[in-house]
Amino acid sequence: MPKVLFLPHKIILPQGGEFKAIEGETILSVALRNNIQLEHACEKSCACSTCHCIIRKGFFSLSGWSEKEDDILDKAWGLESESRLSCQAIIGTVDIEVEIPLYSVNYVTE
Mean pLDDT of the chain: 92
The predicted structure's pLDDT at residue 110: 41
Q: What is the pLDDT of residues 14-51, one digit of tens each?
A: 999 999 999 999 999 999 999 999 999 898 899 999 99
Rounded to two decimals, what is the model's pTM?
0.92
| Sign of CA pseudo-dihedral 70, 74, 75, 80 | positive
Enumerate residues 6+ apart whose C-beta is below 8 A from 6: 13, 16, 17, 18, 19, 31, 36, 98, 100
Q: Domains of the chain (ranges plus CATH)?
A: 3-99 (3.10.20.30)
48-85: pLDDT as tens digits? 999 999 999 999 999 999 999 999 999 998 999 999 99
Q: What are residue 85's DSSP bridge partners?
A: 52
The predicted structure's pLDDT at residue 72: 94
Q: What is the DSSP letter of 63?
A: P
